[in-house]
Amino acid sequence: EAQMPPGEQLPRYVRVNSLKTTVEDVVDYLKRDGYTYQGQASRLDDLTLKSKNFVKDMHLPELLVFSPKTDFHDHFLYKAGHIILQDKASCLPAHLLNPPSGSHVIDACAAPGNKTSHLAAIMKNKGRLFAFDLDAKRLATMSTLLLRAGVTCQQLANQDFLKVNPDSPQYKDVEYVLLDPSCSGSGMVCLQDRTAADQTRLASLAAFQLRCLNHAATFPRLKRLVYSTCSIHRQENEDVIAAFLQQNSTFRLVPLLPQWPERGLEPLSQCLRASTSKTRTHGFFVALLEKHSEALSSTP
Ligand code: SAM
């Protein structure tokens, strides 16, 4: 009778923080700690795990997957910043943006900073990572999280991203932007009852999301821009991307992970979606935009 909320049935995902350790070392540590390693998953059902069994994810290289009841909040590896507790879908944006070590990157709406720390790990802490958030309290949480994760390449600012001046000399080499703006949160399994689709609210969120995208597009050296939400509504996802593409003809969508089981709604199948049923994650959307090479080549 008593039905478990679906959130309780999602696997627990653990991202190994490569700034502090390796997947191999974490697997060894957990084996000694009573967990049973079952190798790399190869299909969705392999992510449905019992008790202390765990696997390596099939899509994301530094992701380990545990049973729904697993709780690492008091675990040494978590407290020491060796592992980050982050849903699989929310690991996609930084992984797909994949900024090279040494590059200049903006995380536009960054707090509490899980994606920022993921970007820093991909960049091997080299380069510059400008992270903005409007909310001072969330930004304070973020400083703690980044310190624990050993992130050192960041520059945090309590600032409205829409007011960041793209022509300021400090951003002249920014080629990568991650944009994960406020959204309805309708993809969060635990919030689903509380996020009834209020059309007025969705329209205003979508307008904000599009303004953020348009603003990101004005950074002079921008090459790649990843957009993500934890919303399941087309209005905040494909519709925002379609409007952006219409207004910014120098950008195109990059086709993402052909092996990923859930795509953006037609015609935007280059984008990814995620859900409890198809990917065993929270509901999520991600798009990768790239500036045409012709648009990047400097005029003589
Ligand atoms: N990327 C974060 C992570 O992975 O941990 C989560 C970001 S959350 C979805 C959206 C964030 O955007 C919130 O922390 C909110 O305070 C911030 N935000 C909202 N409007 C903003 C604005 N105009 N400029 C900068 N940040 C903003």
Measured between alpha carbons, how far is 214 from 235 in angstroms, rounded to an integer?
A: 16
Measured between alpha carbons, how far is 265 from 274 in angstroms, rounded to an integer?
A: 12
Count of residues in the chain = 300
pLDDT per residue over 235-285, tens digit each?
999 999 999 999 999 999 999 999 999 999 999 999 999 999 999 999 999
Atom of ligand 1 nearest to the CA of 178: 1
> Residue 2: what pLDDT?
39
Q: Closest Cα to atom 16, ligand 1: which residue?
A: 135
* Cβ–Cβ under 8 Å, residues 119 and 105: yes
Mean pLDDT of the chain: 94
Measured between alpha carbons, how far is 111 from 114 in angstroms, rounded to an integer?
A: 8
Measured between alpha carbons, how far is 252 from 87 in angstroms, rounded to an integer?
A: 27
Please tell me whether the peptide bond between 112 and the residue prior to it is cis, using omega within 30 degrees of 0: yes
> Residue 242: what pLDDT?
98
Candidate of 182, 183, 186 to mutate for ligand 1, largest count of ligand atoms within 8 Å of Cβ: 182
- Summarize the confidence of residues 89-102 as an average pLDDT: 98
Give the residue from 98, 109, 116, 104 showing the smallest Cα distance to 175: 104
> Residue 190: what pLDDT?
74
Q: Please state, as a whole number, how many other Cβ atoms lie within 10 Å of the Cβ of residue 31.
A: 13
Q: Which of these is catalytic: 153, 183, 212, 230? A: 230
Query: Ligand 1 centroid vs 143 CA: distance in angstroms?
Result: 14
pLDDT per residue over 161-173, tens digit each?
999 999 999 999 9
Catalytic: 230?
A: yes
Our answer on whether the CB atom of 119 is closer than 6 Å to any ligand 1 atom is no
> Residue 198: what pLDDT?
86
DSSP character string of 10-26: SPEEEEE-TTT--HHHH
- Summarize the confidence of residues 127-138 as an average pLDDT: 98
Our answer on whether the CB atom of 162 is closer than 6 Å to any ligand 1 atom is yes
Quick one: what percent of the chain has pLDDT higher than 70?
Answer: 92
* Cβ–Cβ under 8 Å, residues 21 and 62: no
Our answer on whether the CB atom of 115 is closer than 6 Å to any ligand 1 atom is yes
Which H/E stretch holds residue 247?
helix 238-247
- Summarize the confidence of residues 141-153 as an average pLDDT: 97
* Per-residue pLDDT band at 193 (split at 50, 70, 90): low
pLDDT per residue over 24-44, tens digit each?
999 999 999 999 999 999 999
Phi, psi angle pair for 112, to nearest 5°:
-85, 5
Measured between alpha carbons, how far is 275 from 87 in angstroms, rounded to an integer?
A: 11
Our answer on whether the CB atom of 113 is closer than 6 Å to any ligand 1 atom is yes
Helix, strand, or coil (residue 230)? coil
Write down the pTM of the prediction.
0.94
Q: Closest Cα to atom 17, ligand 1: which residue?
A: 109
What residues contact 267, with CB distance under 8 A and at least 6 apart?
A: none
